[in-house]
Amino acid sequence: MESIIAILEKIKAPLLFSSRDSYMHLPMVKDLEATMRSFLKQLQSVSFRNATQNETYAAYKSIISGLEEAIDGYDELPPGDKKERIEKALRILNELKAFVERHSFGISSIQDEKKEQNLKNGEITLEKLSLPLRFVKGVGPKMASLLEKKGLKTVEDLLYFVPRRYEDRRTVKDIKSVSTGITETVIGHVVSALYRSYRNRRAYEVTIEDGSGQLTAKWFKGNLGYLRKIFRKGVRVIMTGEVSTYLFSKDMVHPDFEILDEAESVEDLINFKRIVPVYSETEGLHQKYIRRIMAHAVDNYSQYVLSPIPDEICEKRGLRDIRGAVRSIHFPATDERIEEYNEMRSDAHRRLIYDEFFFLQLAMALKRKTEILDEGIVFRTQGKSLHRFYGILPFTLTNAQKRVIAEIEDDMGRTSSMNRLLQGDVGCGKTVVSMAAMITACENGYQAAIMAPTEILAEQHYNRIEDWSRGLDLSAVLLTSGMKTTERKKIIEGIEKGNTHITCGTHALIQKDVTFRKLGLVVIDEQHRFGVVQRAQLRQKGVNPDVLVMTATPIPRTLAMTVYGDLDISVIDECPPGRKEIRTKVFFENERNRVYEIMRMELRKGNQIFVVYPLVEESENLDLKDATKMADYLRREIFPEHKVGLIHGRVKGKQKDETMAGFLKKDIDILVCTTVIEVGIDIPHASLIVIEHAERFGLSQLHQLRGRVGRSDIPSFCILMSHRRSSEDATKRLRVMEQTNDGFKIAEEDLAIRGPGEFMGTRQSGVPDFRIAHILRDADILFEARADAFSLAEHISGLENDKYALLKKILLHRWGGRFELAKTG
């Protein structure tokens, strides 16, 4: 592969030389035909790796014979015909190059074949790619540490550090014909270089001349002493910059430039006369420097890049050769379409994006496969208790709930263990669904556990579950970290002895001293608040228990595929009947009195109100009114006739319970709180939620908070208090809230505005760091890669198969960390 491209370049050189400057050099090129023929012979000696590629080979041959025709009898032709033949040959060469890159997996020369064999054992290539950057030519320890700040530690990191955008510097213009206001590139000799003083500042000015006219480059800042040293009269220089006019002269202020060695061929430049990559910069790391080390890395290491995606897949998806893609992504050929590069839509981009998605999806597919192979518990489903449970519920299940329970029961009845994600908007009734699953587990003689992220939520689960359990002769307990030692001991004992059927709790559940007698089902509520590790830890408390994770933050499909790609997904897409839409409106600080009026109206109707704050206490540099102050203010100044309660992260145990119970019993009318109430809490008479500093919350979080009201058939409202000074993004978020109540739509918007990492919250929540791929922009590629990876996983038995040894090596290299983690889960 390498050498075909190399041969093509060699053939191209004399043709290009002949054509340059309107065929000025044509008469100087002698014996072109003979030279070309010898190259052609090399091209014809290319061999095929396997016989099934005959069609490709035939196509290749026919392109080569076209080339042969173009040069046949060339030396004897008159100049006019020669031009025509050269043009034709160049056209065919481009075609051939594209063809070779497209089919690189099918063609290689014998020589390449050997090299390829060496690379195939993977060791050398991983070693080369893992080389720390400080050992790369041109990168010293100082630069290495700057690069590391950008997350670039190894040669591989560098090669996958793709340009932010590309600049078109392909055409060098005559100075005479450059246009004002446009970025142009010119070449000329320095005719003068001097300091000039303007009214209040000094500039270093370099004037160049190219035979058609003169242009002046101006520097007002930077290392002027250095400029003075290098711009000596007569020096040849190339410059790119936006052209402006000053009085009668053409100017470029702070252009990019390079001194041209008189002998140096302009063709070798990496900063000019081509499509030039522009990287994201850091203090001390400049474009030209990054380009220089990148060019070095591409020249010397891109041949080690490996991506053993099977040929069939590459062919089916039209994926080009990975090494070519790495080269092009940094230094696109002059005839490439720059728009495609700038939109990250070039073949080179597509190849690398596909690659990233494919390996992650393959890791997930294989992880899922091993988990499925683990012997799980086979539960008997549709038992008597379940029907008794449906009987004691004061409502009938929605169709969505019924469907999802059936999906879960189906999983539970299988030999393989369940690994299912249940998604559903706030208030759609996930708790009932999880209870159904827990009942099935208990009926089979197993224990069940449900873990929630906050104490309040765990308590709420407990209260409901305990209530249901009593009617079903099951015993349920609550385990949180806020408990007294003696109480805790008693509860742990019950769990260990097996007297307890269902355990509700917080992180306290995964403490070391908690052991279950026979844990068969694990439910994790509000999964996005926990990490992969915690899910694994709870799972380990049993022997291959079934796992159901639930989330009320709907996760867009593309993100779910990358974060929870190893889980089956169920969706509750329907809310219990009778729920009214929550009307939402943004208010600004100067409208606060109107907000108090609205609050008063709701209170008069006998409804309750939440007032939510982002922080617990006033911090020194944020001018946030904190929850405590606000509670006092509302109590004393605004609503003296009403009861105001307060809950935040530091209000603990009994006091918090009392307040919560008071609010639930309607002893308290207004509950001022921080985001501890964010998830799950159910207060049927709350009809209004006022969210202070709404601009500081993410969309999904706002949606969660809003879900605290509208939990019955009372018309409900959400008021978002905002500052006029809020950022554009924040304002956009708040408008989205006004427009829709649909959790999935909100999630999509949130993801688009904040990006995957922020969307999921913490790092541990498991959004992989993609180098190039973007799950929204590249969703189509993600779907393809996922389908391909999952179907490939079907054919790989535990990755032991030799045919896939290299694939496995690369997979472990890329996602090894996670993959190991997966084994513990």
- The residues binding ligand ADP (CB under 6 A) are 395, 397-398, 401, 424, 426-432, 552, 576, 680, 682, 711
Torsion angle, alpha carbons of 414, 416, 418, 420, to 10? -110
CB 452 within 8 A of CB 484: no
Region binding Mg ion by CB under 5 A among candidate stretches 383-391, 442-450, 515-523, 675-683: 675-683
- Smallest gap from residue 671 Cβ to ligand ADP (A): 17
- Smallest gap from residue 431 Cβ to Mg ion (A): 5
Q: Report the run of H or E that residue 556 belongs to, with start and end.
A: none
Q: Which is nearer to ligand ADP, 238 or 457 (CB)?
A: 457
Can you spell out the DSSP letters for 426-471? Answer: TTS-HHHHHHHHHHHHHHTT-EEEEE-SSHHHHHHHHHHHHHHHHT
Residue 233 region by backbone torsions, left for phi larger than 0, else alpha for psi between -120 and 50, else beta: beta
Q: Which is nearer to ligand ADP, 147 or 575 (CB)?
A: 575
Q: How far apart are CA 570 and CA 421, in angstroms?
A: 6
Q: Which does 253 bind (CB under 5 to 8 A by kind): Mg ion, ligand ADP, none?
A: none
- Smallest gap from residue 421 Cβ to ligand ADP (A): 14
Q: How far apart are CA 530 and CA 528, in angstroms?
A: 5
> Which of 322, 341, 351 is closest to 2 using CA atoms?
322
Q: Which is nearer to ligand ADP, 397 or 406 (CB)?
A: 397
Q: Which does 670 bind (CB under 5 to 8 A by kind): ligand ADP, Mg ion, none?
A: none
Q: Which is nearer to ligand ADP, 291 or 711 (CB)?
A: 711
Q: How far apart are CA 498 and CA 445, in angstroms?
A: 10
Q: Which is nearer to ligand ADP, 428 or 736 (CB)?
A: 428
Site for Mg ion in 174-193 (CB under 5 A): none
Region binding Mg ion by CB under 5 A among candidate stretches 82-90, 401-409, 674-682, 709-717: 674-682
DSSP-assigned letter for residue 550:
E
- Smallest gap from residue 289 Cβ to Mg ion (A): 53
Q: Which does 682 bind (CB under 5 to 8 A by kind): ligand ADP, Mg ion, none?
A: ligand ADP
Q: Which is nearer to ligand ADP, 573 or 695 (CB)?
A: 573
Decide: is 707 part of the binding site for Mg ion (CB under 5 A).
no
Q: How far apart are CA 789 and CA 369, in angstroms?
A: 12
Q: Which does 427 bind (CB under 5 to 8 A by kind): Mg ion, ligand ADP, none?
A: ligand ADP
Residue type, 784: E
- Smallest gap from residue 400 Cβ to ligand ADP (A): 9
DSSP-assigned letter for residue 777:
T
Residue type, 819: F
Q: Which is nearer to ligand ADP, 82 or 711 (CB)?
A: 711
Question: Do the strands 447-451 and 502-505 form a parallel or antiparallel pair, or are they unpaired?
Answer: parallel
Maximum CA pair distance of the chain? 107
- For residue 380 the two structure tokens come to 């008997």
Q: How far apart are CA 656 and CA 647, in angstroms?
A: 6
- Smallest gap from residue 308 Cβ to Mg ion (A): 44
How many chain residues interact with Mg ion (CB under 5 A)?
Answer: 1
Helix and strand numbers (H, E) in the chain are 29, 23
Q: Which does 122 bind (CB under 5 to 8 A by kind): ligand ADP, Mg ion, none?
A: none
Among 680, 707, 710, 756, binds Mg ion (CB under 5 A): 680
- Smallest gap from residue 298 Cβ to ligand ADP (A): 52
CB 482 within 8 A of CB 501: no
Region binding Mg ion by CB under 5 A among candidate stretches 106-114, 218-226, 603-611, 678-686: 678-686
Q: Which does 136 bind (CB under 5 to 8 A by kind): ligand ADP, Mg ion, none?
A: none
Q: Which is nearer to Mg ion, 188 or 680 (CB)?
A: 680
> Which of 820, 752, 732 is closest to 558 using CA atoms?
752
Cα distances (angstroms) measured from residue 296 to each of 66, 141, 265, 278, 299: 35, 17, 18, 16, 5
Decide: is 324 part of the binding site for Mg ion (CB under 5 A).
no
- Smallest gap from residue 457 Cβ to ligand ADP (A): 9
Question: Do the strands 183-197 and 202-209 form a parallel or antiparallel pair, or are they unpaired?
Answer: antiparallel
DSSP-assigned letter for residue 716:
E
Region binding Mg ion by CB under 5 A among candidate stretches 271-279, 606-614, 627-635, 676-684: 676-684
Q: How far apart are CA 193 and CA 615, in angstroms?
A: 60
Here's the x/- map for Mg ion, 632-671, by CB under 5 A: it reads as ----------------------------------------
- Smallest gap from residue 664 Cβ to ligand ADP (A): 12
- Smallest gap from residue 824 Cβ to ligand ADP (A): 29
Q: Which does 424 bind (CB under 5 to 8 A by kind): Mg ion, ligand ADP, none?
A: ligand ADP
- Smallest gap from residue 430 Cβ to Mg ion (A): 5
Q: What phi and psi, each to the nearest 5 degrees, are found at residue 246?
A: -130, 120
Q: Which residue's Cβ has the minimum distance to Mg ion? A: 680
Q: Which is nearer to ligand ADP, 680 or 766 (CB)?
A: 680
- Smallest gap from residue 164 Cβ to ligand ADP (A): 41
Q: Which residue's Cβ has the minimum distance to ligand ADP? A: 429
Measured between its terminal Cα atoms, the distance across the chain in Å is 42
Residues 6+ apart with CB under 8 A from 606: 685
Cα distances (angstroms) measured from residue 209 to each of 193, 215, 227, 260, 286: 12, 7, 18, 14, 28
Q: Which does 428 bind (CB under 5 to 8 A by kind): Mg ion, ligand ADP, none?
A: ligand ADP
Q: Which does 805 bind (CB under 5 to 8 A by kind): ligand ADP, Mg ion, none?
A: none
Q: Which is nearer to ligand ADP, 135 or 395 (CB)?
A: 395
CB 68 within 8 A of CB 11: no
Q: Which is nearer to Mg ion, 453 or 680 (CB)?
A: 680
- For residue 557 the two structure tokens come to 């499909």
Q: Which does 710 bind (CB under 5 to 8 A by kind): Mg ion, ligand ADP, none?
A: none
Residue type, 287: Q
Residue indicated by tokens 């520097």? 219
- Smallest gap from residue 427 Cβ to ligand ADP (A): 5
- Smallest gap from residue 460 Cβ to ligand ADP (A): 8
Q: Which does 432 bind (CB under 5 to 8 A by kind): Mg ion, ligand ADP, none?
A: ligand ADP
Q: Which is nearer to Mg ion, 680 or 768 (CB)?
A: 680
Sign of CA dihedral 447, 453, 454, 457: negative
Cα distances (angstroms) measured from residue 242 to each of 218, 231, 630, 728: 12, 20, 55, 30
- Smallest gap from residue 465 Cβ to ligand ADP (A): 11
Instruction: State the Cα angle at 81 between 75 and 85, rounded to 5°.
Output: 75
- Smallest gap from residue 460 Cβ to Mg ion (A): 8
Q: How far apart are CA 741 and CA 718, in angstroms?
A: 11
Q: Which does 543 bind (CB under 5 to 8 A by kind): Mg ion, ligand ADP, none?
A: none
Q: Which is nearer to Mg ion, 187 or 538 (CB)?
A: 538
Q: Which does 786 bind (CB under 5 to 8 A by kind): ligand ADP, Mg ion, none?
A: none
Q: Which is nearer to ligand ADP, 53 or 431 (CB)?
A: 431
Residue type, 378: V
Q: Which does 576 bind (CB under 5 to 8 A by kind): ligand ADP, Mg ion, none?
A: ligand ADP
Q: Which does 825 bind (CB under 5 to 8 A by kind): Mg ion, ligand ADP, none?
A: none
CB 305 within 8 A of CB 326: yes
Q: How far apart are CA 729 and CA 699, in angstroms?
A: 10
- Smallest gap from residue 745 Cβ to ligand ADP (A): 17
Binding footprint of Mg ion on the chain (CB under 5 A): 680
